[in-house]
Amino acid sequence: MVAVSPVAHKLLSYVPFLLVLIDLRYEGVNGGKDGGVENHLEMGKKLLAAGQLADALSHFHAAVDGEPKNYMAFYRRATVYLAMGKSKSALPDLSKVIELKPDFTSARLQRGNLLLKHGKLDEAESDFKKVLKSNPSSREEQEAQSQLKKSDEIQRLVSQAQSDFKHREYSSAASHLDIIIDTCVWDVDSREMRAECFIQMGELGKAISDLKAASKLKSDNTQAFYKLSTIYYDLGDHEMSLNEVRECLKLDQDHKQCFSHYKQVKKLNKQIQSAEELIQQEKYSDAVSKYESVMKTEPNVPHFTLNAKERMCHCLSKDQQTARAISVCSEVLNTDPQNVNALKDRAEALLQDDQYEEAIKDFQSAKEYSENDRQIKEGLERAQRLLKQSKKRDYYKILGVKRTAQKKEILKAYRKLAQQWHPDNFQDAEEKKKAEKKFIDIAQAKEVLTDPEMRSKFDQGEDPMDPESQQGGGHHHHFHGGWENFQGFNPFGSGPFNFKFGFN
């Protein structure tokens, strides 16, 4: 059973009334004809009244095939087509009815209404005028006069819209076309003209809506698909652009504009998909290179450039290329200050660069535009802890390394500083005392930053060497008592403090 649209339901509510009228006007036609055709007509009528459109249509097909000159079979089949929303199929049947029975005013009036909806104003007016000359019922006469008046008004609006469009008064033209399309809902030319007005006005979403309708109303509308593809392309939606240009090529594989555009979109789409796959594989540096290729492939569409830079910003932040990440993210935010992804990624890069207050500002800005984002909330809390932590003791600063430093780099810095600040190097009591404190800080920094668990805690804003900052268990490494407890400590070792170290 075919699903029935709300409009079709409304049409179906008139079906019993229409069928009575049809039977009254039929005047016993087919009295001596094939009884099989009559059976199909009767069964189709019952099914139509019950809303079983597909089954009714099947019977009316059989009636038309059985008796090609039976105008009632054509008329009833047209009624089903209209109930199913298939006006294109209904029009030829109504024309056949009028050919077989020119004085059938109901069919002519319905055809006039359909022609008006398709924007065929001259043909519609001709039908309405003939209805008025054919001794119509009062209802038919009233409807024909009303529709004729409406058609005349539409003619006037079409002329005005065309004049406005010619003079590039797109807003005025679009306003006239709004009224035209309210009546001529299936008029392809009016929708395409309004779409062009919307394009010129920068209202691309509305243009897309009209072009999609135009592509369905006209079966071979390659130009509508081409325009849809170029609009999506200019909006930076490479996937939708590719889908629409493929529809164009399905209709005409030799279409020059569509084929040329297809090659460009396909290349760009492949590069972007490849870049995203590299991001999924955490190959961030390779992904950055791929997005640089995207910008070379399409340097003239701002949406693609902005999107490429946004994704590069993300990759550089993840890859801890801090300085470049901050620079690229800032470029994105200069163009799009409310870009939440760029704000989050720049905040992460700023944390890597120990710019805690600036990172907090970015997280706070991101929160304004996406207040329910859990990642932003957690990032803001972490940045605030790190800022607080930085005002106490920062193990990275103690060793003079970046937060992105690898273990090898940390150990190298530690050994250099341990040798420099070993208390045995100092004879003056005050200087020795200062060196002892410095030496302990260096040792603690090395222990925290070379232990993955402790370093992770520290990076989240918790000092594993400070019992006050502990959040429920974990490491409680803490050096007590001062320098005397380090007399068996080898600053050049990587294990426990088991070795005597001194400078003799």
* Domains annotated on the chain, with CATH: 394-504 (1.10.287.110)
Q: pLDDT tens digits, residue range 247-263?
A: 999 999 999 999 999 99
CB 412 within 8 A of CB 492: no
- With a CB cutoff of 8 Å and minimum separation 6, the contacts of 378 are none
- Predicted pLDDT at 389: 78
Lowest mean pLDDT among 151-165, 276-290, 418-432: 418-432
CB 301 within 8 A of CB 235: no
Percentage above 70 pLDDT, the chain:
86
Mapping DSSP to helix (H, G, I), strand (E, B) and coil, where does residue 318 land? helix
187 has a pLDDT exceeding 60: yes
Question: Residue 474: pLDDT band by 50, 70, 90 thresholds?
Answer: very low
For 163-166, the CB contacts below 8 A with 24+ separation are 165/193, 165/196, 165/197
Cα 326 to Cα 428: distance, rounded to the nearest angstrom: 46
Question: Residue 470: pLDDT band by 50, 70, 90 thresholds?
Answer: low
- Predicted pLDDT at 469: 59
33 has a pLDDT exceeding 90: no
Cα 401 to Cα 405: distance, rounded to the nearest angstrom: 6
Lowest mean pLDDT among 105-114, 120-129, 240-249, 430-439: 430-439
Q: What is the DSSP string of 384-440?
A: HHHHHHHTT--HHHHHT--TT--HHHHHHHHHHHHHHT-GGG--SHHHHHHHHHHHH
In angstroms, what CA-CA distances link 323 with 271, 329, 350, 355? 26, 10, 9, 12
Among residues 245, 250, 247, 285, the alpha carbon closest in space to that of 268 is found at: 245
Please identify which residue in the block is written with the tokens 């059985």: 66
Token duo for residue 338: 């409310």
Q: pLDDT tens digits, residue range 78-106?
A: 999 999 988 889 999 999 999 999 999 99
Question: Residue 434: pLDDT band by 50, 70, 90 thresholds?
Answer: confident
Question: Residue 25: pLDDT band by 50, 70, 90 thresholds?
Answer: very low
Residues in the chain: 504
Lowest mean pLDDT among 23-37, 260-274, 406-420: 23-37
> What mean pLDDT, rounded, does the chain reach?
86
Higher pLDDT, 68 or 5: 68
496 has a pLDDT exceeding 70: no
- Predicted pLDDT at 465: 81
Mapping DSSP to helix (H, G, I), strand (E, B) and coil, where does residue 279 land? helix
Q: pLDDT tens digits, residue range 379-401?
A: 999 999 888 877 778 888 888 88
- Predicted pLDDT at 475: 45
Percentage above 90 pLDDT, the chain:
67
- Predicted pLDDT at 480: 44
CB 167 within 8 A of CB 183: no
Please identify which residue in the block is written with the tokens 């404190």: 437
CB 52 within 8 A of CB 60: no
Mapping DSSP to helix (H, G, I), strand (E, B) and coil, where does residue 283 land? coil
Mean pLDDT of 260-286: 97
Q: What is the pTM of this model?
A: 0.70
